Every structure is written in structure tokens, then in C-alpha cells.
């Protein structure tokens, strides 16, 4: 009998219109690593809560069907026995700890098992070693970086010696380098503990897919629609995956496009290694163009820069370290600029200076050539929109339509004009059917669209976005980026703070890397990724297609390499890559 045996599991939350999971059945062996895919709201987290027996005990929900672990129906086990089988790592690094120091946090889960103290000490040391935090044993939890926190969460789970690990989007809040590192530790753990069954929910698969034995796909309705080896699932179910907005590994997405274009590829590669093998025969002969294709750079009005910081320094408190150190940056009008760098490097702090939320000294920050300290809040917000990472933070009204009208009402525009502008925004952002809904009741993708729309209501020409694609599936992220591209083509200047390397590779016209409060790089995305030393210090990850190009030694005349599917397609099909907006695969 399989180690995990789930039979006809149906879960329904109180007052929910439909079940979160419907008739889900599957089995998993010891030591298997399963990847759980599905659009948001498809019940991925719910499945983890069921395995750990937290539904229906801790989370009220009606549950039908049975879950067997190690041959035992978990309904017949005590709460302690159930939770001992499954260790969970949750998505939010800020909301899964309850103690103040690393060792106390690991100890917490052991104290609950009433282990004797000597054994706790040994287990704490062991589990921290498994995630590389042994040196941080007495550190305060709030002093750890996001990546370290997630590794600590993993250690907390491991210390309890579960037979199953459920990792629920463990890297969603991490920067690219920290995500890669987390997966490295996970791979090491798999080698050291080959008996542990791992179930992982993830969206960005490039660095993860190599260690996955089996992929399971849940549909919008919470049904298990696909299950199989990764190659097989991605090979034959492209349409289903597209429809659900599942991110594919980029090399897989590229190979699909190539196959659709008639190139001979008998199986789809999942990793850069596999792609190197699969594409070896069909690579372009002859030299690449002298320069990478230029991205369309919007309508530049010329004139003063949209945003400018001159030798700006900043610290949050007199006794705190400097977050910005003598930083200078110019964002020209019509730019589509990506602002990248490690968490805590000062990207958001810098952006908040551009809207006077953090007040610079006179003569340091300029908006369209004018010193921002001489402008009123109304002047500034009429020019610049700022989209926060969490859209909910910005909502001030009770309906979608009032939300859009809000900034106009504050400015006392005539009601007829307000109605007209609101209708236009609703239509162009696909929000018309939801106009009477409460903004908090929208889906994640809709909330994001609404927050962007509200920032354009008074005709702002500059848009700053903090992690615009964070936590979104492929379809909503794609739609949003297309929207930004349209705005950009219409002359809006865009500055996006992001950890999304695909956004940088596919959309940004220029990139700026901020490290330790200073601009360490400003140039094209191609030049950014070609600078390997910088990529390391800025805690970035080169896009997989760039890695692949390097494997083949593909370089443009200027030494940079292709980053996007569009460029690769152009190279392999011999079509010109230049011009037009890049498309996402």
C-alpha cells in the first residue's frame, strides 16, 4: 500500500459557493517528490491542511472521503499523531513563527510533542544543519532574511521528523537568488533523507523541476485533472496548462513554440541541461546580429527626466544604518525601467521618495525637472501613480466604481466627467462586470488591475509599480504586462520594482540594479545579465534562456546573449527579432 492514500476527498468551506476540493484521489510513495500545480483558489493549500489533519480540526470545513498515511486512516489518529506525520512550510515568512529566537522557534514544535530537553537540543542542531542555519542558532528570528526565514520554517518542520513535507509556495516572497538557494537546500535534503515524501506547491518551476518525480494539476473547480511524470504532463497537455495559467519552465515554453513552428523536437525539455541536448541539432549557424533587438521605447517627449534622484541619502532613524547612500538615478520620460536588487537594498525606499511619501531634502529629488519639495501632494499625485505591492492597502472606497472615481472626486472634477472617465477605465481594465462589487471581494488579478486603474484615473503620465506580477498566475501576469506595454506605447513612463526575471527579460527596456543603497548598474536587460559579477551581488538569477544561450556560446556582437522566447524564435527561424513588443511564452 502506498504511503499516502487519498480517497475521494471533498472539502467545502462554510458559506463557500462550491467545494474547494472535489473528489480528489491519489497515492504517493515514500521518498517521492510531488509538484502540485493549479490556478489560485484550486485547493492546493487545502490539500496540505487535510493531509496534516488540520481540516476539520483547526480550520472549519466539511470534509468527505478518507486520507490514509502509512496504512492508517488519519481520522482515527489523535491530533498529535496526525500533525507528527506532516511538516508544513507556509508561504508567508512573517506569519508562521511565534517565538523570538531561532532555537526557541525550532524548540516550539518539539515542546508540543513533550520531548525531553536533551533530545530537543540534538534535534535542533540537526535540523538547523540540514538547512544551513547552524551558525544562526541564537539569532533573533526578525533579524533573518526572507530566505533564511523560509529555511528556518523548513528546519522547524524537519525537527519533528515527519514522513511527509508539504511546502506551500515556500519561495513566493523570496528574491530570485534566495529562491534558487532554497531549492538547492531542498535538493540536498532529498539526498540526505530519501525516505521523506515531499509535496511542493510552486509557480516558478525553472530551478525546481529537475527534482520533481510527479506533477499533479488541480483545476479551478478543485478536481485533480492531471497526474504524471513532468515530461509527460507538459508534453501532452499544453492547452490545459495554458488555459489555467500555469507557468511552464521557460525552456519548455520555448520548445513548445519551436515545435508549433514546425521544428523537429520529439520531446520537450524541462531543464536547461535537457534543452541543451534537445536543441543541439537545430541551432542557428553563422554569427548573431551585432546587437540585441531594441525594445520599443515608448513615445519620448524629450524634455526633463520623468524622475531623478541626485546624490540622495536616507536613513529611517538617526541611529539606523543608511538605506540609500548618495544614490543618483535618472528615469527618462518614456522609459520602461525595471528596478532590481536584493530585498532590503533600498528599491522601495527610493521609489517612495519619488512620490514624496518619504520626504527628501531640497535639491535631491526632481519630478519632470522640478524639485519635488516645492510641489504640493496634489501636483505630485497628478503626475505620478504608485501601485503598492499589496493592492488592498490602496483601497479607500466600498465599490469598484467609487474606487476609480475617488481621486477625481477629491479633485472636484464635474460629475459628468467623472462618470465618463470611470466608465472608460472600467471597460479598458475589464472591470465593468464588477463595478458594484467591494474591492476587497475581487480576485487577486482583479484587485491588481483595479489598483493600476486607480493610479491612472487623473491622467498620470508616470507609473511606479512595486512587484506588479507578485503572486499572480501566468494569465493574469501576462494580461497586466500587456496592459503596461500598451500604456508605455502611449507614452506613459513606467518604473517597476521587481524580482520577476522574466518581466525584466521580456518587457523592460532598461534595468537598474540597486545594491546596498547605491545604483550599481544602469543599462539594457541584456547587459545586466551579461554582467555575471553584478548578477551575483544583486541576488538575481539569469533567465533560463540566457543560461541556455551561454551554454551554446550564442552571443550578439556586443557580447550579450538572447534572453526571451521571442529572440530565440527569431534566431532559430531566421526571422528578424527586432521591433515590436516582446511576447511572453
Partner 1 sequence: MEGLLNYYAADSFIHRLNPTLKLAGIMALMVAVTMAFDPWTPLAFFLLGLFMLKVLARVPVRQFIRPLLLFVVLGALGFISANAFFYTPLPGRPVTILWQAGGVRIILEGIRVGISLTLRMLAIVTLSILFVSTTDPTDFVLSLIQQARFPFRLGYGILVAYRFLPLWRTELEIIRAAHRIRGAGERPTLRGRWEQLQRYAVPLLASAIRKSERVAIAMDSKAFGALPQRTYYRDVHVRPMDWAFLAGCVLAAAAIVWGMAQLGLLEGYGVVPEA
Contact set with partner 1 (CB under 8 A) = 49, 52, 54, 57-59, 78-80, 83-84, 86-88, 90, 92, 94-100, 103-104, 107-117, 120-121, 124, 142, 156, 160, 317, 352, 355, 357, 377-378, 381, 385-386, 388, 390, 392-396, 406-407, 410-411, 440, 454-455, 458
* Residue with smaller CB distance to partner 1, 1 or 114: 114
187 grid coordinates: 535538493
> Cα–Cα distance between 429 and 404 in angstroms, integer?
11
> To the nearest whole angstrom, how small is the minimum distance from the Cβ of residue 422 to partner 1?
15
* Start-to-end CA span in the chain (Å): 41
Sign of CA dihedral 313, 317, 319, 321: negative
* Residue with smaller CB distance to partner 1, 248 or 495: 495
* Residue with smaller CB distance to partner 1, 184 or 390: 390
Sign of CA dihedral 202, 141, 164, 56: negative
> To the nearest whole angstrom, how small is the minimum distance from the Cβ of residue 393 to partner 1?
4
> To the nearest whole angstrom, how small is the minimum distance from the Cβ of residue 536 to partner 1?
30
> To the nearest whole angstrom, how small is the minimum distance from the Cβ of residue 59 to partner 1?
6
Q: Closest Cα partner for 348 from 326, 324, 371?
A: 324
> Cα–Cα distance between 42 and 222 in angstroms, integer?
5
∠ CA(311), CA(312), CA(314), 5° rounding? 145
481 grid coordinates: 504586462
CA distances from 107 to 78, 103, 140, 500, 580 (A): 21, 6, 14, 35, 56
* Residue with smaller CB distance to partner 1, 70 or 284: 70
DSSP β-ladder status, 384-387 and 21-28: unpaired
CA distances from 110 to 119, 132, 167 (A): 9, 19, 19
- Check residue 571 and report its DSSP letter: H
* Residue with smaller CB distance to partner 1, 232 or 438: 438
> To the nearest whole angstrom, how small is the minimum distance from the Cβ of residue 14 to partner 1?
14
Q: Report whether 444 contacts 366 (CB < 8 A).
A: no
> Cα–Cα distance between 94 and 96 in angstroms, integer?
6
* Residue with smaller CB distance to partner 1, 193 or 394: 394
Instruction: Name the phi and psi angles at 66, rounded to 5.
Output: -130, 150
Q: Report whether 188 contacts 182 (CB < 8 A).
A: no
* Residue with smaller CB distance to partner 1, 53 or 332: 53
CB atoms < 10 A from the CB of 500, how many?
21
DSSP β-ladder status, 21-28 and 4-12: antiparallel
Instruction: Name the phi and psi angles at 440, rounded to 5.
Output: -70, -15
> To the nearest whole angstrom, how small is the minimum distance from the Cβ of residue 205 to partner 1?
24
- The region that residue 412 occupies, defined by phi over 0 for left and psi between -120 and 50 for alpha, beta otherwise, is left
> To the nearest whole angstrom, how small is the minimum distance from the Cβ of residue 455 to partner 1?
8
* Residue with smaller CB distance to partner 1, 299 or 396: 396
> To the nearest whole angstrom, how small is the minimum distance from the Cβ of residue 364 to partner 1?
19
> To the nearest whole angstrom, how small is the minimum distance from the Cβ of residue 318 to partner 1?
12
> To the nearest whole angstrom, how small is the minimum distance from the Cβ of residue 358 to partner 1?
8
134 grid coordinates: 547552524
* Residue with smaller CB distance to partner 1, 177 or 358: 358
* Residue with smaller CB distance to partner 1, 65 or 121: 121
Amino acid at each position: 500500500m502506498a504511503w499516502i492514500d487519498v480517497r475521494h476527498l471533498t472539502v467545502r468551506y462554510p458559506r463557500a459557493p462550491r467545494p474547494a476540493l472535489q473528489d480528489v484521489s491519489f497515492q504517493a510513495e515514500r521518498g517521492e517528490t510531488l509538484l502540485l500545480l493549479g490556478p489560485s483558489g484550486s485547493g492546493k493549500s487545502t490539500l496540505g491542511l487535510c493531509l496534516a489533519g488540520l481540516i476539520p480540526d483547526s480550520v472549519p470545513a466539511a470534509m468527505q472521503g478518507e486520507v490514509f498515511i502509512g496504512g492508517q486512516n488519519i481520522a482515527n489518529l489523535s491530533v498529535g499523531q496526525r500533525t507528527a506525520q506532516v511538516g508544513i512550510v507556509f508561504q508567508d515568512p512573517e506569519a508562521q513563527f511565534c517565538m523570538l529566537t531561532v532555537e526557541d522557534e525550532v524548540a516550539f514544535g518539539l515542546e508540543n510533542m513533550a520531548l525531553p530537553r536533551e533530545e530537543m537540543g540534538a534535534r535542533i542542531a540537526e535540523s538547523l544543519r540540514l538547512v544551513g542555519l547552524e551558525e544562526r542558532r541564537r539569532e533573533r528570528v526578525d533579524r533573518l532574511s526572507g530566505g533564511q526565514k523560509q529555511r528556518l520554517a523548513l528546519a522547524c518542520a524537519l525537527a519533528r521528523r515527519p514522513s511527509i513535507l508539504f511546502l506551500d509556495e515556500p519561495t513566493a516572497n523570496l528574491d530570485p537568488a534566495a529562491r534558487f538557494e532554497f531549492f538547492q537546500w531542498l535538493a540536498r535534503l532529498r539526498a540526505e533523507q530519501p525516505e521523506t515524501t515531499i509535496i511542493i506547491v510552486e509557480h516558478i518551476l525553472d530551478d525546481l523541476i529537475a527534482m520533481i518525480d510527479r506533477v499533479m494539476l488541480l483545476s479551478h473547480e478543485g478536481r485533480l485533472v492531471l497526474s504524471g511524470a513532468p515530461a509527460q504532463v507538459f508534453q501532452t497537455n499544453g492547452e490545459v496548462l495554458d488555459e489555467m495559467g500555469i507557468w511552464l519552465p521557460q525552456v519548455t515554453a520555448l520548445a513548445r513554440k519551436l515545435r508549433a513552428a514546425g521544428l523537429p523536437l520529439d520531446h520537450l525539455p524541462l531543464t536547461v541541461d535537457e534543452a541543451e541536448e534537445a536543441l543541439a541539432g537545430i541551432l542557428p549557424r553563422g554569427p548573431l546580429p551585432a546587437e540585441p533587438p531594441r525594445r520599443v521605447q515608448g513615445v519620448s517627449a524629450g524634455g526633463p527626466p520623468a524622475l531623478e534622484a541626485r546624490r540622495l541619502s536616507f536613513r529611517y532613524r538617526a541611529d539606523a544604518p543608511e538605506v540609500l547612500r548618495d544614490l543618483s538615478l535618472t528615469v527618462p520620460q518614456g522609459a520602461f525601467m525595471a528596478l532590481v536588487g536584493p530585498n532590503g537594498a533600498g528599491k522601495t525606499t527610493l521609489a517612495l521618495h519619488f512620490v514624496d511619501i518619504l520626504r527628501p531634502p531640497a535639491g535631491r529629488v526632481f519630478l519632470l525637472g522640478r524639485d519635488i519639495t516645492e510641489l504640493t501632494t496634489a501636483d505630485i499625485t497628478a503626475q505620478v501613480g504608485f501601485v503598492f505591492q499589496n493592492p488592498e492597502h490602496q483601497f479607500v472606497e466600498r465599490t469598484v466604481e467609487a474606487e476609480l472615481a475617488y481621486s477625481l472626486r477629491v479633485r472636484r472634477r464635474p460629475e459628468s466627467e467623472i462618470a465618463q472617465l470611470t466608465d472608460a477605465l472600467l471597460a479598458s481594465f475589464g472591470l465593468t462586470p464588477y463595478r458594484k462589487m467591494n474591492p476587497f471581494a475581487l480576485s487577486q488579478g482583479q484587485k491588481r488591475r483595479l489598483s493600476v486603474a486607480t493610479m491612472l484615473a487623473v491622467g498620470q503620465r508616470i507609473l511606479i509599480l512595486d512587484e506588479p506580477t507578485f503572486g499572480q498566475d501566468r494569465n493574469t501576469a501576462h494580461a497586466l504586462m500587456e496592459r503596461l506595454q500598451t500604456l508605455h506605447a502611449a507614452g506613459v513612463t513606467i518604473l517597476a520594482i521587481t524580482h520577476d526575471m522574466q518581466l525584466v527579460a521580456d518587457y523592460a527596456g532598461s534595468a537598474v540594479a540597486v545594491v546596498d543603497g547605491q545604483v550599481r548598474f544602469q543599462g539594457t536587460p541584456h547587459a545586466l545579465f551579461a554582467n555575471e559579477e553584478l548578477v551575483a551581488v544583486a541576488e538575481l538569477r539569469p533567465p533560463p534562456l540566457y543560461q541556455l544561450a551561454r551554454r551554446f556560446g550564442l552571443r550578439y556582437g556586443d557580447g550579450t546573449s538572447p534572453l526571451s522566447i521571442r529572440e530565440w524564435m527569431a534566431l532559430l527561424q531566421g526571422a528578424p527579432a527586432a521591433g515590436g513588443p516582446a511576447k511572453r511564452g
